């Protein structure tokens, strides 16, 4: 599912030549895909509750397959942009659906390993596309490989459709027996959902800002060799997969809020190393610390959703949170770039520190909000 995401960056120069568009036209393609991804993330809970998990996953895997077929076939640029919307929608729906299902049915170990698998897929994408291009084959062949892999996923969902349980966690009979699903307006009236969406926004946004601007900060702002800056940026992204595998081994043995708090402190410390620029090697260490500490945060936050928000609302809430993460992944890197352009590249380091501090503060706010609500509920019951 995540393999095509890693292909685009490698394929883009060849695609640009095929369609005769400018280098920055990639932004249009990414924007449209993001719109599709976010839109389906917000709708995922509503669709899931009406279709059932098995049918939901099957239909959206077909939607993603259609998007990949469009990439492989598209004769014109604007048709490619249109199918990019379809592919983004399918990816967003599958992403939200799997996260909601794992949050309802599995533990921290499997949730971390699910996201580690996403990371492996993103890593495989560039490898596949590079292998295609180095053999002087068309970039479309790379997407045909992705089509074949996605077709296998469609067949897998088709054969297991009736074996999937509902992703919604029923509580005291709520939403069982086909009762009316939760409305979006009911969810948005809850203060906790806005706080949680803020945490997801800054989690994904901090991840994207670090990954997108570390290379520029090191190479252009601090005179680090291009190869060295590129190496440490790659290590940053690789630390997510390694970190999720590592944390998956013992995440169930620690209290989740404690683990999240420790990792957010580590992110702030790593960002501080990057900003202070005491030595290049300390900045590199800071970058890797940030990546390793960020690794389990998204999966653990998803896993906490049914515990922090009523189980009745959790399925839709996961979709809203994933949608907020998509917005953060687009907006915070853009703001960081504007700050760097306006105030100089060293301001990027300060921006990264600011995002990490806001993330930690919002998460503490969420913990306090949940604790206060539980005390109020206990007082009423007593």
Q: Which helix (H) or strand (E) holds 342?
A: helix 311-343
Q: How far is CA 82 from CA 67, 85, 204, in A?
A: 9, 5, 25
pLDDT of 180 higher than 60: no
pLDDT score for 151:
96
Angle subtended at Cα 105 by Cα 192 and Cα 258, rounded to the nearest 5 degrees: 50
pLDDT of 40 higher than 70: yes
pLDDT of 181 higher than 70: no
Query: Residue range 219-239: average pLDDT?
Result: 85
Compute how many other C-beta atoms are within 10 angstroms of the C-beta atom of residue 181: 18
Record the pTM: 0.77
Q: Domain 186-377 sits in which CATH superfamily?
A: MFS general substrate transporter like domains (1.20.1250.20)
CB contact set of 347 (below 8 Å; sequence gap of 6+): 339, 340
Percentage helix, strand, coil for the chain under 3-state DSSP, each rounded to 5: 85, 0, 15
Query: Residue range 151-166: average pLDDT?
Result: 88
pLDDT one-digit tens code per residue, 266-291 = 999 999 999 999 999 999 999 999 99
Q: Which helix (H) or strand (E) holds 357?
A: helix 346-381
Domain 3-167, CATH number (from 1.10.760.10, 1.10.10.60, 3.30.70.980, 1.20.1250.20): 1.20.1250.20
Q: How far apart are CA 50 and CA 168, in angstroms?
A: 11
Residues in the chain, total? 382
- Residue with more model confidence, 125 or 18: 18
Query: Residue range 89-109: average pLDDT?
Result: 83
Query: Residue range 90-94: average pLDDT?
Result: 89
Q: How far apart are CA 308 and CA 319, in angstroms?
A: 15
pLDDT of 50 higher than 80: yes
pLDDT score for 188:
66
pLDDT score for 178:
38
Mean of the per-residue pLDDT values for the chain?
A: 84
Query: Residue range 251-259: average pLDDT?
Result: 84
pLDDT score for 12:
81
pLDDT score for 381:
63
Instruction: Read off the DSSP letter of residue 344.
Output: -
pLDDT of 359 higher than 90: yes
Sketch the domain layout of the chain as residue ranges. 3-167, 186-377
- Which residue in the block uniquely carries the two structure tokens 């490698």? 10
Query: Residue range 213-235: average pLDDT?
Result: 85
Q: How far apart are the first and last CA of the chain?
A: 48
Give percent above pLDDT 70 in the chain: 90
pLDDT of 304 higher than 50: yes
Angle subtended at Cα 323 by Cα 264 and Cα 159, rounded to the nearest 5 degrees: 110
Q: How far apart are CA 187 and CA 190, in angstroms?
A: 6
Query: Residue range 56-84: average pLDDT?
Result: 93
């Amino acid at each position: 599912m995540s393999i095509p995401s890693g292909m685009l960056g490698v394929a883009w120069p060849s695609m640009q030549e095929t369609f005769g568009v400018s280098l920055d036209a990639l932004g249009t393609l990414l924007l449209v895909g993001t719109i599709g991804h976010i839109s389906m993330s917000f709708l995922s809970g509503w669709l899931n509750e009406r279709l059932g998990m098995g049918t939901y996953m099957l239909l959206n895997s077909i939607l993603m397959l259609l998007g990949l077929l469009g990439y492989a076939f598209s004769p014109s640029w604007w048709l490619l942009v249109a199918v990019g919307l379809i592919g983004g929608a399918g990816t967003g729906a599958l992403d939200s659906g799997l996260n909601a299902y794992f949050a309802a049915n599995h533990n921290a170990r499997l949730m971390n390993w699910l996201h580690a698998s996403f990371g492996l897929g993103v890593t495989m994408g560039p490898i596949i596309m590079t292998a295609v291009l180095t053999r002087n084959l068309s970039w479309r062949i790379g997407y045909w490989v992705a089509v074949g892999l996605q077709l296998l996923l469609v067949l897998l969902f088709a054969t297991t459709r009736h074996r999937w349980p509902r992703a919604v966690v029923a509580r005291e009979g709520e939403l069982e027996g086909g009762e009316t699903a939760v409305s979006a307006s009911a969810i948005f009236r809850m203060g906790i959902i806005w706080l949680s969406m803020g945490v997801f926004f800054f989690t994904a946004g901090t991840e994207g800002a670090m990954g997108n601007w570390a290379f520029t900060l090191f190479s252009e702002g601090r005179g680090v060799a291009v190869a060295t800056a590129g190496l440490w940026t790659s290590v940053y992204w690789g630390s997510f997969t390694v970190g999720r595998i590592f944390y998956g081994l013992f995440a169930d043995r620690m209290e989740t809020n404690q683990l999240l708090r420790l990792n957010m402190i580590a992110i702030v410390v790593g960002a501080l190393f990057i900003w202070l620029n005491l030595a290049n090697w300390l900045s590199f260490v800071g970058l890797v610390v940030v990546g390793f500490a960020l690794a389990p945060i998204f999966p653990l936050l998803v896993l906490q959703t049914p515990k922090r928000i009523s189980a009745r609302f959790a399925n839709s809430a996961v979709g809203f949170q994933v949608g907020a993460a998509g917005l953060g992944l687009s907006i915070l890197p853009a703001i960081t770039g504007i700050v760097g352009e306006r105030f100089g590249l060293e301001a990027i380091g300060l921006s990264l520190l600011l995002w990490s501090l806001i993330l930690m503060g919002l998460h503490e706010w969420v913990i306090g909000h949940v604790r206060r609500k539980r005390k109020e509920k206990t007082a009423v019951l007593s």
